[in-house]
Amino acid sequence: MEKEAKHGPLHFDLNTGAKMPSVGLGTWKADPGVVGNAVISAVKNGYRHIDCARVYANEKEVGVALKELFSSGVVQRSDLFITSKLWCSDHAPEDVSKALGKTLEDLQLDYIDLYLMHWPFRTKPGSQGFAPEVMAPLRLPETWSAMEGLYASGQARAIGVSNFSTKKLQDLLSYAKVPPAVIQVECHPVWQQPALHYLCKSTGVHLTAYSPLGSPGSWVKGEILKEPILLEIAEKLNKSPAQVALRWGIQSGHSVLPKSVNESRIKENLSLFDWCIPPELFSKFAEIHQQRLLRGDFAVHESLSPYKSLQELWDGEI
């Protein structure tokens, strides 16, 4: 991959000094039995960034794949950037380090490159799902303080958040002793997040895009890859709509996490560095109608959630 990188960046610099590869393999909705092979195939094809989470229920299998890659000498641990996420039921400060411990055990790692708070939302310890009866009051400053402890211990080389609105990130920056290195959010040509990008650029927080292709095949509805402007640009550049959507992200200054378990698409999604979108085509992305696809209705309840509406959950960014 390095040889053909005429058009970078291959990495983004985090505020910790670490380098995060621009493209990572997403593992959400990658079924057990399939995800391990996807990780092995991705790393053999040049990926150096894998995005995991406890709630995806596949970290054990990812761990087996990583062990195989390390023991067969395909890569060393230091070659890879691996992310995981703290689930909502582990927000109690005393549970945060246990949750990372379980993730490290499943992934068979000594440290994680990045640990994210998965949602600004808390559920009761040991619970599953988002039923109103398991919703619990938020303790974001205390949870963040426990995350800072993981950073201090070296078990998490960087810490950050996911699914925070611009305002929630701003609030966190006001009380964090260790500022978040990364915010991972839905971001793609149909939900471009300009306000959040602006805040990130001005405060040194790196934005990573999940569902950069809009999560085709999941319960998140949206036909990003059929967006006419995207199709028109892809045709002009002789690239797939997915490649153009990913290249748009990298040129916008954020890393992208395409998820695939199909080897030819895994390869295609990394073939982004020997071409670029010229300015006259890049400017056309501003014409695309904007809409958030993953809306988070499950986190809203009129009496039991801290968020009585989607407007409150996203602070108006919907």
Residues, the chain, total? 318
- Cβ-in-10-Å burial (0-12, 13-18, 19+) of 264 comes to exposed
Asked if the bond preceding 189 is cis, omega within 30° of 0, the reply is no
Burial class (CB in 10 A: 0-12, 13-18, 19+), 81: buried
Please confirm, yes or no, whether 175 is among the known catalytic residues: no
Element spanning 39, H or E: helix 35-44
122-123 vs 135-136, strand pairing mode = antiparallel
Measure the CA–CA gap between 160 and 166, rounded to whole angstroms: 14
Contacts of 115 (CB under 8 A, 6+ apart): 83, 84, 85, 86, 100, 103, 147, 150, 155, 156, 158, 159, 160
Catalytic residue, candidates 47, 56, 115, 210: 56
Distance in angstroms (rounded) separating the CA atoms of residues 114 and 159: 5
Give the C-alpha separation, 302 to 286, whole Å: 35
- The residues that are catalytic are 56
